[in-house]
Amino acid sequence: MLARLLRICAETSGAALTEAAIVMPLFMVFTGGLVDFSLAFYQWNAASKAVQVGARLAAVSNPIDGALSSLTGLEGGAAAGDPFPPFATVCSGASSTCTGLGNSSYSASAMNTLVYGRGEAACGTSGPDQFPGMCDVFDRIRPQNVIVSYRHTGLGFAGRPGGPVPTITVELTGLTFNLVFLGGSITMPPMRTTVTGEDLSTSN
């Protein structure tokens, strides 16, 4: 019996096939994981760049909260030339609402300008100024993924002819990393970019 066991242990026929059967699944999982990681990294970079594009558009486009267009800073009794009174408003594409100002109003067209670009109604198209929107950079972005905040941070003065000078934060939420080989998806952490508002007018 001992001699038979020794012969079985010394047998090498089929060893390569057995080794391949053990190693190949591990190799495939490793390769698939590497591909999925690279794809997720690309999606992260594309989404990050899209946020930057959206923030830049927000700085030079009509505000999503229509109340900002008529805000002068004089509403609370401040005199012309005084520091601009504090204000803040947050606009969510998911709920199609803006909150923070007494007469806040959500502008879907202003949000679409950020997401699709000026003069565009869909991803992958070019408007008159050829300036891309957020979804031209990362095609899975839609208005419901975007939150835009306008806050006073000490710039401008009450009665300023050009209106308020807010600090604008554009945030992406509700996106996922789509995995090809490993399957499924992983929630993408929110990402945001902050810029200083400029003319806040699409017509300029």
3-state secondary structure 91-136: EECCCCEEECCCCCCECHHHHHHHHHCCCCCCCCCCCCCCCCCHHH
| Res 2: pLDDT | 64
pTM score, whole prediction: 0.82
DSSP H or E segment with residue 165 = none
| Helix/strand/coil for 30 | helix
**pLDDT band at 32; cut points 50, 70, 90:** confident
pLDDT in tens, 140-191: 999 999 999 999 988 889 998 888 999 999 999 999 988 887 777 889 999 9
Task: In whole angstroms, give the CA distance from residue 124 to residue 133.
Answer: 9
**pLDDT band at 14; cut points 50, 70, 90:** low
Domain residue spans of the chain:
24-196
pLDDT, mean over the chain: 86
**pLDDT band at 35; cut points 50, 70, 90:** confident
pLDDT of 94 higher than 70: yes
**pLDDT band at 108; cut points 50, 70, 90:** very high
pLDDT of 11 higher than 60: no
| Res 201: pLDDT | 82
| Res 66: pLDDT | 93
| Res 200: pLDDT | 83
